[in-house]
Chain A
């Protein structure tokens, strides 16, 4: 197991290094620079522009800048945001729990509904339920997040008044964040009604963000189950007289879960991408919107640091998924 983990880490480290390079170079390849954007229509003289670029260290050759950046990273320093002048890590850690909370809830919804929907659709192949699930999954997958989010807001918040329009909690509650996770902090605050307010604010964004993963998980579960259900051992199990629940639940599902878990792992990246739009619509203070703002302002340090941290999280999740395979099917550990 240890060797297996070390092998996986051996793959992760070069990837991590690659991400630092890509993030560093790509943001600088975009036209424009942060100093010019800061000045806007007002503009600034060539001399002042040059002086400010030198002050931030952007006047040096890119390879030298990258060298400095790696040294900085080695000291655990991701730099300071050019715009807010705050450490990138502090900004990230302030916003990241909101994204994680939203993503976890979205993924929870996606798995909670996607997995059984896919299983039932597979066992009742060709039925009305199967067609409904597949049509729903395709629709969910194709739905533009922005449109879907606004539609839900208008219907549930605007017309029915069931849910609040946006934000993480009613503005009337105020407490210092402890964990950054609003559900937990609202409970810790001891303020009555705070938790329910946090839950009600989470419902719509979680549905919107979870829609695509739900569709993907349902489709993947269905196709994986169909493949497994046609295997010899399933036929043998049925011939031995095992009930359908035991055949599906114990024999088929266990093997069908391998590709499904892979997909769930990959959906973490999709969730972060989807979070950008979902966070914008629902005024959710997470890293998605922060990254977009940083890119548009050419906040080099924030983009580099943010991408690096997001990549680290995605890699960590995928590493965990790889390790999970071994738990589900021990053969994978031996063959790797």
Chain B
């Protein structure tokens, strides 16, 4: 029996306890707390310090919401990916804190000369986790890879419909059109056959929809008549095993001692689901969690001064923009669009809307992505020049709409405020802007309309760190009437991004994307506004936590002092 003091409470744990190390300030807190809890804790306190030294390391993460589930192929929310990540692996993965891809369950791969066949050589000796319902009888092999992808791809697969799954990410990354087949060559070799060459394919496979599940577990659960259990009680090959989940309260994991990579330095990982940002901060200060997500911008200054907290920051892999409808007059004229861009005081927006937690954007991709063209010069803030250009183009008494998103996003924390600032900027050049907003689902739907009136505030967070994920998705001709909110289909730009999609040489792709960014700036289908800066407060005893560029919260490799 082990007793310890945690955050002013008297606690007991089993001989394998999940405990924070004993701290002097906590003993101090406890003296006060005893007034409330003395009847239950008093005697036990005496035993505490005797056993404190052997305490395993438990890292508590104050997350903001419950995961939608534990099968990341079903969902698109970051909170769900955060919850699934400790348990699973993919064939390839993003190196911690970067957008660089490294081998994971696949040790290496070959790409055919025509770029249509990817052959993956799988890692041997990788063990799946065990649970009360399942004990694996074999190691990870090609069957698991085929199962994980065929479930999403093949509509007749016995698991395709289990859980009413819709595989939204798999579909939105165009995998059904791209993947012709996935073939098991032998137990440790799998071949992906594509319908067309796709340069970002390897980066795509590092995404969460490409998670590898146990085919054996699926078969066992199907035999037991409970196939959907595999989606709620996750079994993977990851650095942590799933222990328990209580909705809206807590998720528990413990270290996987048989992990194929280096064993995680912490013994237990706990997600304390805490929806309110102010409360998360209080918990962090009180030592009830080690890492918190999404701090209030207003709290950042205090966090920076707190001696017990490290305030980490990193530029987000995102862009916030205002998309003109380039198919409607007068926005079909690039000179008009550029003039409007020159009227926007982006610095003021960064100060007022992002409260400093942002950076002015000049390109449609963030600076953290390879091929970012830093040589591009942004449109200067020059209302007088903007007014002159509009007059020269015969645009007078222009009235337009600015669409303000009804939700907060890292790339736009307050769209209404941003719209008001742009409205004010436009009024200085004689443009009368009306701000409109709709419910989020409606906003997304209506803003796709090719005949839409006005300029739309929106943004994008990268999925795989590939420029194609921004440029082709948001500005390609295929996206007109869809994710391409500027309804912009410009052949010189399109040719570049289509070519970059099929070229495998990174240097050549970089050259093509840099050129595409120059054309983008000349044509100005958007006003590029900001890239957010992500802040993540962690307690000082947390070692080597790295902010993930994709906005996830990942704990493999993180340690506690």
**Do A and B come together as binding partners?**
yes
Chain A positions near chain B (C-beta within 8 angstroms): 30-33, 36-45, 48, 52, 55-56, 80, 82-86, 91, 94-95, 150, 153-154, 157-158, 160-168, 170-174, 177, 191-197, 199-200, 203, 279-286, 289-290, 293, 298
Given contacts A43-B172, A85-B231, contact A172 B13 (CB under 8 A): yes
Q: How far is A195 from B243 in the complex, measured between Cα atoms in Å?
A: 22
A40 in contact with B439 (CB, 8 Å): no
Q: How far is A74 from B69 in the complex, measured between Cα atoms in Å?
A: 29
Query: Closest B-chain residue to A38, C-beta based?
Result: B168
B445 in contact with A196 (CB, 8 Å): no
Query: Closest A-chain residue to B71, C-beta based?
Result: A85
Q: How far is A164 from B166 in the complex, measured between Cα atoms in Å?
A: 40
In the complex, chain A residues whose CB is within 8 Å of the CB of B482: 43, 45
A195 in contact with B40 (CB, 8 Å): yes
Q: For the complex of A and B, list the 4 residue pairs with the smallest distance between their C-beta atoms, beginning with the closest.
A: A32-B441, A196-B40, A285-B248, A161-B29
A298 in contact with B441 (CB, 8 Å): yes
A44 in contact with B246 (CB, 8 Å): no
Which residues, 272 to 286 on B, are CB-close (under 8 Å) to A? 272-276, 278-279, 282-283, 285-286
Which stretch, B3-11, B339-347, B552-560, touches the partner chain A? B3-11
A286 to chain B, nearest CB (A): 8
In the complex, chain A residues whose CB is within 8 Å of the CB of B546: none
A278 to chain B, nearest CB (A): 11
Q: How far is A107 from B332 in the complex, measured between Cα atoms in Å?
A: 63
Best-buried of B163, B250, B448, B458 by chain A (most CB within 10 Å) = B250
B440 in contact with A158 (CB, 8 Å): no
Which residues, 153 to 185 on B, are CB-close (under 8 Å) to A? 163-166, 168-169, 171-172
In the complex, chain B residues whose CB is within 8 Å of the CB of A80: 164
Query: Closest A-chain residue to B481, C-beta based?
Result: A46
In the complex, chain B residues whose CB is within 8 Å of the CB of A39: 76, 168, 172, 444
The 28 sampled A-B contact pairs (Cβ below 8 Å) are A33-B441, A37-B440, A37-B441, A39-B444, A41-B458, A41-B460, A41-B461, A42-B172, A55-B164, A82-B164, A84-B68, A85-B228, A158-B286, A161-B8, A164-B9, A165-B279, A165-B282, A166-B283, A166-B288, A171-B18, A171-B270, A173-B13, A177-B246, A193-B10, A194-B12, A195-B40, A283-B272, A284-B248
B60 proximal to A (CB < 8 A): yes
A83 in contact with B68 (CB, 8 Å): yes
In the complex, chain B residues whose CB is within 8 Å of the CB of A40: 76, 444
B275 in contact with A280 (CB, 8 Å): yes
B459 proximal to A (CB < 8 A): yes
Q: How far is A208 from B105 in the complex, measured between Cα atoms in Å?
A: 50
Interface SS of chain B: mixed
B138 proximal to A (CB < 8 A): no
In the complex, chain A residues whose CB is within 8 Å of the CB of B274: 166-167, 283
A37 to chain B, nearest CB (A): 5
B279 in contact with A282 (CB, 8 Å): yes
In the complex, chain A residues whose CB is within 8 Å of the CB of B502: none
In the complex, chain A residues whose CB is within 8 Å of the CB of B6: 170, 172
Which residues, 223 to 252 on B, are CB-close (under 8 Å) to A? 228, 231-232, 243-244, 246-250, 252
Which stretch, B31-39, B193-201, B211-219, B531-539, touches the partner chain A? B31-39
Q: Which residue from B60, B166, B459 sits with its C-beta under 8 Å from A171?
A: B60
Q: How far is A164 from B11 in the complex, measured between Cα atoms in Å?
A: 12
Best-buried of A56, A192, A203 by chain B (most CB within 10 Å) = A192
Which residues, 89 to 111 on B, are CB-close (under 8 Å) to A? none
B39 in contact with A196 (CB, 8 Å): yes
In the complex, chain B residues whose CB is within 8 Å of the CB of A298: 441
B167 to chain A, nearest CB (A): 11
Query: Closest A-chain residue to B37, C-beta based?
Result: A196
Q: How far is A194 from B3 in the complex, measured between Cα atoms in Å?
A: 12
B441 in contact with A171 (CB, 8 Å): no
In the complex, chain A residues whose CB is within 8 Å of the CB of B285: 158
In the complex, chain B residues whose CB is within 8 Å of the CB of A86: 232
B76 in contact with A193 (CB, 8 Å): no
B360 proximal to A (CB < 8 A): no
A31 in contact with B438 (CB, 8 Å): yes
A31 in contact with B441 (CB, 8 Å): yes
